[in-house]
DNA sequence: TGGTAAGCGAGACGGTACGTCCTGTCTTGCA
DNA sequence: TGCAAGACAGGACGTACCGTCTCGCTTACCA
């Protein structure tokens, strides 16, 4: 009853986002226009612009709508196992088709458009990082990590190489590579054996 | 004498790249058009298109032209000191104005345009990575690093967090952060001291 | 009231045609570009292309818009006097500035572009010829011309020499020349008196 | 021997004109560019521009080169028969493929480009008209036409309707129509039987 | 229940840039 | 030395989208 009001609006919103992802998969984010999304969705351009201020904003929302309830950290007590499990899930989702190429392009857009960058950080990157930090902090509080363990740095060392591999080197991420990174993080690559 | 041939062509090429950087600094890569570069450079559009197939390709070359002879690794015998010195130099160049914003945008473009990605990798990312790997290998050969030291992984752990910080989190890189990463790489952040 | 609808579209159409004629008079049809018309009219190029498929089509309409209600045949009962009167009016309009040069150029365009030729015939040449034929037919029906008088041929003999003079020889048409043609048409130039 | 000098230049000239006609037949005068002619002829653009100042000038020469020795008036003593014979020959050449469409287009060009108009008049229209006038004058001198027969007007009445039919109405010319025009010229279409 | 306003599709509009084509001029390098 | 080859500045082409703006039509909520 209560969601009857606005259900029409929600229908449009959902239809537009669905169409955006659909078209994105077909022709790629870069070649896509708001005009094309609106036409394909059977919607006036104004109806799109009323909801999103740019192609990047639309895509960010569209991708996030796929994401709900995913990528939450387990806490089994074993921080390393939990990190592995969660990061494997993340790259399964974000580095593989159909989301992978669109996520990559969205980050590209963010590097060109500060508004998109801010929104991406606020709605995805930062919350995700905070989950990682929170999980590490829990481990530290439980004494699994040393008291001076640098949480933010660890988060960077976990995420950085994966983004580097995926975005800069542009090779697919493997679970094996993830494991090597986690391993190195906790054991170091010490100058001497 | 010998560079008399083609000097006209080289003049245009240089003028266009110079103008591209100039305009890029003024209005940003995203707002820039090949049309505007051509006009400002006093050159026909075709003269630009004859040399570069896209805005991204032009910018890649333009940025690389600033780069020559920079960012070469020293070898003082102390691998950690050399890495620090070189990475500090790199972020001084690539993360700060005037190059920083343009380099960031160029990576954004590479994420949207596979041709630019390939060229960027071939002409900058890979050579640079190979220099890092070569320096690490020299250290390993000299016994400063353990014989099973994973060179590629180390390169990823050095570069990844910095790119992550600069591109994803979008906060300026500090020398202090670089040092923390290097430190963590070689000493680990082990679960127990 | 009723023309409230679409008045915006009609405004643009009229503004574009007016500008086209204006620019045409200033620099001549040949040197004119749709781009220049659009710019001068303060209109996007697409707004021109939406209405006309080529420069020729635009100019045809523009010239025709000047023409309304002109060039209608009188019927005073004296067919020769009526022809003279009407043809004198026609060449006053079509062979003299400002319309003359533009009309000449439009016919040139029609000779290069079949679509323009077809439109010109449909919207001007043929209707005008039919008026001449109709006036001659009325005269024939009234017995002023012999029953086997060849209407189409007469139309050709009236119009042809004038177009020939104006377009091919490219000398200005005089009323005196028109009169000689009319005279010859009806009295012949017989081999012997 | 003496024409050995310059034979190379004459070769180019001829090759360019031949290519121009060839390409003109294939894609039409309007779509043709000097660039395309030069490339197809295996000749530098400069070599074309050195000889002709515009596409129209090149085509005029090219068409005239086909024309040599054609379209000369016979004088059998019977002026009407001679006119018929000559005009039939003219329309066979000028109104039918392959020359017809190119000649039509050339006149179109002349209406847009005064230089071409002048050259066309000087090298083709006027000489041809003078031949007609000369033949009529001969007939008048021989008493076949009345002493006050208006030679120029007659020429206009002969040529005008044919050009009108071919260029304005854009219907193919028939010998029958030519005969009707000639007939009308000499007998009139008198208002009374 | 009828009136009214909000949302909507459709797409026109002024702009900007695209990437292509051709013009007429100007090198360059081969023969 | 004369030419093909084609680079060059410039201008226009016709197209694609941008983000804004009317236009009527459809809903759905209120009075």
pLDDT band at A37 (very low <50, low <70, confident <90, very high): very high
CB proximity D5–strand F (7 Å threshold): no
The more confidently predicted of residues A83 and B71 is A83
Whether A112 sits inside 8 A of B110 (CB atoms) is no
**Which pLDDT does position A176 carry in this prediction?**
96
**Averaged confidence pLDDT in chain C:** 89
CA of A96 to C1' of F8 (A): 47
Q: Is the Cβ–Cβ distance between C173 and C162 less than 8 Å?
A: yes
Q: Check residue C165 and report its DSSP letter.
A: I
| C contact chains, 3+ CB pairs < 8 A | D
Evaluate whether chains B and A are touching (3 or more beta carbon pairs less than 8 Å apart).
yes
Residue among D107, D164, D184 minimizing CB distance to C159: D164
* ∠ CA D184-D186-D188, rounded to 5°: 50
Whether B188 sits inside 8 A of A188 (CB atoms) is yes
CB proximity C28–strand F (7 Å threshold): no
Write the CB contacts of C155 (distance below 8 Å, at least 6 apart in sequence).
C129, C132, C133, C136
**Which pLDDT does position C173 carry in this prediction?**
94
Whether C111 sits inside 8 A of D108 (CB atoms) is yes
Q: Is D73 helix (H, G, I), strand (E, B) or coil?
A: coil
**Which pLDDT does position A191 carry in this prediction?**
45
Query: Which of B108, B124, B137, B176 has the highest number of chain A CBs within 10 A, making it the mutation to test binding with A?
Result: B108
CA of C117 to C1' of F28 (A): 55
**Which pLDDT does position A68 carry in this prediction?**
62
pLDDT band at B97 (very low <50, low <70, confident <90, very high): confident
Which residue is listed with tokens 């300026």? B172
Dist CA A50 CA A3 (whole Å): 20
Which chain F positions come under 7 Å from a protein C-beta? Answer: 2-24, 27-29
Which nucleotide has the least CA–C1' distance to C55? F13
CB proximity C167–strand E (7 Å threshold): no
* ∠ CA B88-B92-B97, rounded to 5°: 165
CA of C24 to C1' of E22 (A): 22
| Residue from C69, C70, C78, C76 nearest C94 by CA | C70
CB proximity D150–strand E (7 Å threshold): no
Rg (CA), chain B: 19
For C159-190, the pLDDT digits (tens) are: 999 999 999 999 999 999 999 999 888 876 54
Whether D168 sits inside 8 A of C153 (CB atoms) is no
Complete DSSP assignment for chain A: -GGGTTHHHHHHHHHHHHHHHHHHHHH-STT--HHHHHHHHT--HHHHHHH-SSHHHHHHHHHHHHHTT-SPPP--S-HHHHHHHHHHHHHHHHSSTTHHHHHHHHHHHHHH-HHHHHHHIIIIIHHHHHHHHHHHHHHHHTTSS-TT--HHHHHHHHHHHHHIIIIII-----HHHHHHHHHHHHH---S--
**Which pLDDT does position A71 carry in this prediction?**
73
**Which pLDDT does position C3 carry in this prediction?**
41
Residue among B117, B181, B187 minimizing CB distance to A188: B187
Complete DSSP assignment for C45-102: HHHHHTT-SSHHHHHHHHHHHH-TT-SPPP--S-HHHHHHHHHHHHHHHHSSTTHHHH
Tokens of D108: 């179109």
CA–CA distances in Å: residue D59 to residues A177, D65, D130: 70, 10, 23
Assess whether pLDDT exceeds 60 at residue A30: yes
Residues 34-63 of B with CB under 7 A from strand E: 34-36, 44-46, 49, 54-55
Q: Is D69 helix (H, G, I), strand (E, B) or coil?
A: coil
CB proximity D30–strand F (7 Å threshold): no
Instruction: Look up the protein residue whose alpha carbon has the minimum distance to the C1' of F21.
Output: A46
**Which pLDDT does position A183 carry in this prediction?**
87
Write the CB contacts of B72 (distance below 8 Å, at least 6 apart in sequence).
B86, B131
**Which pLDDT does position C81 carry in this prediction?**
92
**Which pLDDT does position A189 carry in this prediction?**
61
Q: Is B143 helix (H, G, I), strand (E, B) or coil?
A: coil
CB proximity C113–strand F (7 Å threshold): no
Assess whether pLDDT exceeds 60 at residue B190: no
For B102-155, the pLDDT digits (tens) are: 999 999 999 999 999 999 999 999 999 999 999 999 999 998 888 888 999 999
Write the CB contacts of A193 (distance below 8 Å, at least 6 apart in sequence).
B146, B147
Whether A163 sits inside 8 A of B163 (CB atoms) is yes
Q: Is the Cβ–Cβ distance between D145 and D136 less than 8 Å?
A: yes
Which chain E positions come under 7 Å from a protein C-beta? Answer: 7-29
Taking chain C (193 residues) in runs of 10, the rounded mean pLDDT of each run is: 58 95 96 97 97 97 82 84 92 90 96 96 94 92 87 93 96 94 76 40
CB proximity C49–strand F (7 Å threshold): yes
Tokens of B189: 């952040």
**Which pLDDT does position D6 carry in this prediction?**
54
pLDDT band at A70 (very low <50, low <70, confident <90, very high): low
pLDDT band at B1 (very low <50, low <70, confident <90, very high): very low
CA of D50 to C1' of F9 (A): 21
Whether A150 sits inside 8 A of B184 (CB atoms) is yes
Dist CA B151 CA B184 (whole Å): 15
**Which pLDDT does position B192 carry in this prediction?**
40
Per-residue pLDDT tens digits of chain D, which is 193 residues long: 444 445 667 788 889 999 999 999 999 999 999 999 999 999 999 999 999 999 999 999 999 988 765 677 888 888 889 999 999 999 998 999 889 999 999 999 999 999 999 999 999 999 999 999 999 999 999 888 888 889 999 999 999 999 999 999 999 999 999 999 998 888 766 544 3
Residues 43-102 of D with CB under 7 A from strand F: 43-47, 50
Residue ranges of domains in chain C, CATH in brackets: 2-51 (1.10.10.60), 66-187 (1.10.357.10)
Assess whether pLDDT exceeds 70 at residue A193: no
Query: Which of D156, D183, D188 has the highest number of chain C CBs within 10 A, making it the mutation to test binding with C?
Result: D156
Q: Which residues of B touch A83 (CB under 8 A)?
A: none
Residue among C79, C164, C170 minimizing CB distance to D156: C164
Write the CB contacts of D68 (distance below 8 Å, at least 6 apart in sequence).
none
The beta-carbon contacts of A144-149 under 8 Å, at least 24 apart in sequence, are A144/A79, A144/B191, A145/A79, A145/B189, A145/B191, A145/B192, A146/B189, A146/B190, A146/B191, A146/B192, A146/B193, A149/B189
Residues recorded for chain C = 193
For B14-26, the pLDDT digits (tens) are: 999 999 999 999 9
**Which pLDDT does position B111 carry in this prediction?**
98
């Amino acid at each position: 009853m209560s969601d009857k009001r606005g259900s029409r609006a929600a229908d449009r919103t959902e239809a537009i986002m669905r169409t955006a992802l659909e078209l994105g998969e077909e022709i790629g984010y870069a070649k896509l226009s708001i005009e094309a999304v609106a036409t394909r969705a059977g919607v006036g351009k104004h109806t799109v612009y009323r909801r999103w201020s740019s192609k990047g904003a639309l895509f960010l929302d569209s991708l996030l709508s796929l994401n709900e309830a995913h990528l939450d950290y387990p806490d089994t007590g074993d921080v390393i196992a939990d990190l592995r499990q969660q990061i494997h899930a993340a790259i399964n989702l974000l580095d593989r088709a159909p989301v992978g190429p669109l996520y990559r392009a969205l980050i590209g857009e963010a590097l060109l458009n500060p508004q998109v960058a801010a929104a991406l950080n606020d709605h995805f990157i930062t919350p995700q990082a905070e989950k990682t930090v929170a999980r590490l902090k829990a481990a530290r509080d439980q004494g699994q990590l040393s008291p001076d363990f640098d949480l933010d740095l660890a988060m960077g060392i976990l995420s950085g190489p994966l983004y580097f591999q995926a975005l800069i080197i542009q090779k697919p991420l493997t679970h094996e590579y993830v494991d090597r990174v986690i391993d190195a993080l906790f054991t170091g690559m010490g100058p001497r054996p």
